[in-house]
Amino acid sequence: MINTFRIAAIAGDGIGKEVMPEGLRVLRAAASRFGFALELREFDWASCDWYAQHGQMMPDDWKEQLAGVDAVYFGAVGWPATVPDNVSLWGSLLKFRREFDQYINLRPVRLFEGAPCPLAGRKVGDIDYVVVRENTEGEYTNLGGVMFAGTEREIVIQESVFSRHGADRVLRYAFELANSRQRKALTVATKSNGIAISMPWWDARTDEMARQYPDVRVDKQHIDILCARFVLQPQRFDVVVATNLFGDILSDLGPATTGTIGLAPSANLNPERQFPSLFEPVHGSAPDIYGRRIANPIAMIWSGALMLDFLTQGQGSGRAAHDAIVRAIEDVIRSGPRTPDLGGDAHTEDVGQAIANQVKEF
Ligand code: ATP
Ligand code: MG
């Protein structure tokens, strides 16, 4: 039996349109080498070009158009010169996250040999962890309001909302992930010394979950010192779990310590597979470099590897393809060709081709 993966490919805006073809090139190479089939459906919506023609980011029937896909492979969205960022983001990516209940945002952080690490004296292996961010609730709600607006008495309130269901499912995911890894070390971001209602509650949910995972070493750390340690002692970390806001901060800080945003991948997961999950580079549409074919496609390519791993639940051909892609990425960062963000002068497609060729040879 041959596995077939049905993938919706949405390039989006800016360099999303440049890195997507390289991601697809590598996926096709992996499919032919590792014996699975890809059924690709490409869409031009969820982009600011589409907005210019239709006055909205996506068609009303976007969900129907995605019916039956196993995953969404996404480039980048945003073109602030024509559409405000909050409009493009809320009209596309955030709809996927919410309507497909992608409550896990997963960001692996790794230092590669050959990447320009901004931290002094760090070597490969010192930075190798995964940030698990809660992706649907917490600090990012639209609950609140402004009173006495425009006066000296102006007061603004914005609520955070945590549910037992929401906290427990992200904690469970993180404990499971930590338990499956060699070091079995889980860091939990908190701020229970300053945020005196929700964060002690989050700590208590952590403690209760921890009882079911006696092999996992749990370390609760306040977000401020945790940020400092991402910089000063990154080797301490294995799996890091955080609420929406803290996870947002950590999952940008982590990749920043590994040299270039052009390498960082992410997965927005609905682990129960009730809805498609979405795989995308951490970086945005980068209008400042669009059109020059110098965008690094590795974040896009690595996100594709995460997608294959997730679709096969880390088994068989998907896992083998994932591992081959990651090894090809390691080789290309070490030996070139490299895009300018890694100090080279190669073009986007040179890097994509080099990685695809290596994958075929494994
Ligand atoms: P977001 O869209 O998430 O709000 P942003 O628009 O603030 O992000 P990006 O589009 O990610 O930021 O770009 C930030 C900087 O990183 C820019 O200078 C951009 O050129 C650079 N950059 C982003 N992605 C890449 C890439 N794949 N290769 C090289 N440089 C990149
Ligand atoms: Mg942007």
Q: What is the mean pLDDT of residues 179-200?
A: 96
Look at residue 270 in the predicted model and tell me its pLDDT: 97
Contact (CB, 8 A) for 175 and 238: no
Best probe residue, ligand 1, of 77, 252, 261, 288 (max atoms within 8 Å of C-beta): 261
What gap in Å lies between CA 353 and CA 23, rounded to an integer?
A: 10
What gap in Å lies between CA 276 and CA 62, rounded to an integer?
A: 13
Residue from 17, 26, 115, 16 nearest 355 by CA? 26
Given a cut of 90, is residue 318 above it in pLDDT? Answer: no
Please tell me what DSSP assigns to residue 217: E
C-alpha 19 – ligand 1 centre gap (Å): 12
Q: What is the mean pLDDT of residues 340-355?
A: 97
Confidence class for position 313, pLDDT limits 50, 70, 90 = confident
Average pLDDT, whole number, for the chain? Answer: 96
What gap in Å lies between CA 113 and CA 21, rounded to an integer?
A: 25
C-alpha 282 – ligand 1 centre gap (Å): 9
Q: What is the mean pLDDT of residues 87-97?
A: 94
* Ligand 1 atom nearest to CA at 289: 20
- Which protein residue has the closest C-alpha to ligand 1 atom 12? 284
**Percent of the chain whose pLDDT exceeds 90:** 93
Cα distances (Å, whole numbers) of residue 140 to 117, 167, 247: 31, 14, 11
Q: Which residues line ligand 1 (CB under 6 A)?
A: 15, 78, 261-262, 283-286, 288-289, 295-296, 299, 341
| Cα 342-325-111 angle, rounded to 5 deg | 40
Given a cut of 60, is residue 236 above it in pLDDT? Answer: yes
DSSP 259-301: S-GGG-EEEEE-TT-SS-EEEEESS---TTTTTSS----HHHH
Q: What is the mean pLDDT of residues 214-241?
A: 98
Residue from 57, 126, 65 nearest 88 by CA? 57
Question: pLDDT per residue over 104-134, tens digit each?
Answer: 999 999 999 999 999 998 999 999 999 999 9
C-alpha 273 – ligand 2 centre gap (Å): 29
- Which protein residue has the closest C-alpha to ligand 1 atom 3? 284
Asked if the ipTM is above 0.85, the reply is yes
* Tokens describing residue 346: 């190669």
**H or E stretch covering 358:** helix 348-361
Which residues have CB atoms below 5 A from the ion given as ligand 2? Answer: 78, 284
- Which protein residue has the closest C-alpha to ligand 1 atom 8? 284
Which ligand places an atom closest to the C-alpha of 339? 1
Look at residue 131 in the predicted model and tell me its pLDDT: 98
Given a cut of 70, is residue 1 above it in pLDDT? Answer: no
